[in-house]
Structures are given as structure tokens and as C-alpha cells.
Amino acid sequence: MLIEDFSDEMIEFGVKEQMQDMYLYLREDKGVIQFRKNQEIASFKEVSPQIAQQLITRFKYLGEMDVGEHRRAQLGAISYPLHDEVQRLRLSTVGDYRGNESMVIRFLYNLSVDHLHYFSYEQFETIVKRTKAAGLYLFSGPTGSGKTTLMYQLAKQIKGQVITIEDPVEIEEPSFLQLQTNDKINQTYDQLIKLSLRHRPDILIIGEIRDERTAKAAIRAALTGHKVFATVHAKGVRETKSRLIDLIGETSELDNCLMGVIYQRMLNDPNDQAEVVFGYEFYSEPAIYLPFSDSLKQYQRYYDEGQKR
């Protein structure tokens, strides 16, 4: 089988089964292909090391990554053609000390409001209402919990220019101006945020705040009257704000622009249907605080009672 056909087979399988990740591991004597859906990992195939390396090289080439670099971590993204549709994929590679590469391929599903299920639609409506004002809004939650999808949905609620800055672009949206970081030409988050403000966006979406410079650039954008959505790695609502304070070292400017924090997780109901559960805090009057733990208890109680019926 040609490598092109084999890669098509794997991606088609992943899409059909709604997998979240595909893993390509290169070992001394074999290549291992696995898929992940929610918290479960399933083996797909074992192949020769040569086939595994050819697959990794093919995806790196399609993602415009350095195919000759086998140890340094690299990121990429591609729109993979499948018959009558295109599947967006995010790529990540790294090699061990012996030069054996591994690749993780994230399946990025372009979910709409109709396809992303919320345990409580009232919570989603509250988020829509409380994110209308200018300022900084932080989104956090585990990988694959739908943070980017939610930010895009909220941005579509308004008429105006939306600029996104991501590493890499995860969901292609023709109505947005989508920028992608590129360290080789100094297109960092910080530089692209400065550039985007000259375009006077109605909403600026920042894929991830990872460091002090990006955090301060996001805060400056919000302080100048822009609406800014950004993701942060944190384990809860209050932890999200604390994480940003840890990055910038002070609170005065953040307190002047932070309008809300949304934390979300995707959980499976008894029918194996994924549903998004929220926790959030909004600081404008009237202030609202919904701990994620309260939402989780409500979620568990609802299905416990439902199963008893």
C-alpha cells in the first residue's frame, strides 16, 4: 500500500470514529499507531520502523515542517483532503535522545453551536450575555474541551472584524482574519498582537497566553478598549486568574481590564454523548461566580436521578 493511501486510511478512520488524537511512535524495531477518544487509547496497527518514519515525514511535509529535523519539537497544521470534505489537523513532533521521532495528530472538528452540546444551555446563554462588553476574557480547560470552538461561537455573535492569533490556526473561519505565529520571521504572539491592533478589530482572539510578554500584550489590548478572548492553561476558574497573575507579577492592570473567566470540560453522558460543562466568574455588575465543582455536582446529580427513573 502506498504511504498516501495508508495515511488516508488512518485519517478516514479517525474522522469516522470521531477520534481526538492519533499517535505515531517510532521504536527500535517497530512503529506503533494508536488513537485516543476521551480518556481511552486504542491500538490501531503496528508497522515497520521504515513505514512509521515515512508516515511521519509525509505529515511533516504537508504541514510545512522541517522534515530533516528529528529531535527538536515542531508544530504544524494542515487541511487534509478527504473525498468531498477537508479535515483540519494539528501536528506535533518531538524526538528522543536517540533520534526516534513521535508524532501526535489532533483532529480539529469545526463544531457549530448545533453540534457542540452543552449540559446547560442556560449557562451558554449567560456566557453570551456577559461577554458583550469590551475587556479581557480568559478561557481555560483541558485540551480538547472546546475552548477555541466556544471563542469562535461567541465572536460570531457580533457584526464586526474578528482577528485571531494562533499557533497554529486550529479552525479555519473565512469570515475572520486569521494570523499564525512564526518564530522564524519574528511573528510572535507579542508582535502579532501589536500589528492586529492597527486593524482596529472588534474582537481579538489569542490562541494561548504562555508567557509574560503575551500576557502583558493581551492586557494592553484590553486596556485600549478592545474585546480580547484568550486561553490559559489552568485547572479551574479561580486558578485561571491566578495563573495570569503569576505570569505578569502584579494585579492592578489586570483588575482594570479582566471582565470574566470561563472554565470548561467535556464529559460523556450515560449515552456516550459528549457535553460541555462550565464554571465561570464575571466581574462586571452584577458579579456572578459559578464554581465548576457546583456545575459538576449538578451534572452528576441529574444523570444519577435520570438513571434511577
* Predicted confidence (pLDDT) per residue in 77-86, tens digit: 899 999 888 9
> Given pLDDT bands bounded at 50, 70 and 90, which one contains residue 62?
very high
pLDDT tens digits along 15-40: 999 898 999 998 878 999 999 987 78
Per-residue pLDDT reduced to its tens digit, 192-223? 999 999 999 999 999 999 999 999 999 999 99
Identify the residue whose cell numbers are 459538576.
Answer: 296
For the chain, the domains span 3-108, 121-308
pLDDT at 282 over 80: yes
Per-residue model confidence (pLDDT) at position 308: 41
Q: Which three cell numbers stand for residue 19?
A: 477520534
pLDDT digits (tens, 9 = 90+) for 42-57: 999 999 999 999 999 9
Query: Which CATH superfamily does the domain covering 121-308 fall into?
Result: P-loop containing nucleotide triphosphate hydrolases (3.40.50.300)
Overall fold of domain 3-108 = Beta-Lactamase (3.30.450)
pTM, 2 dp: 0.85
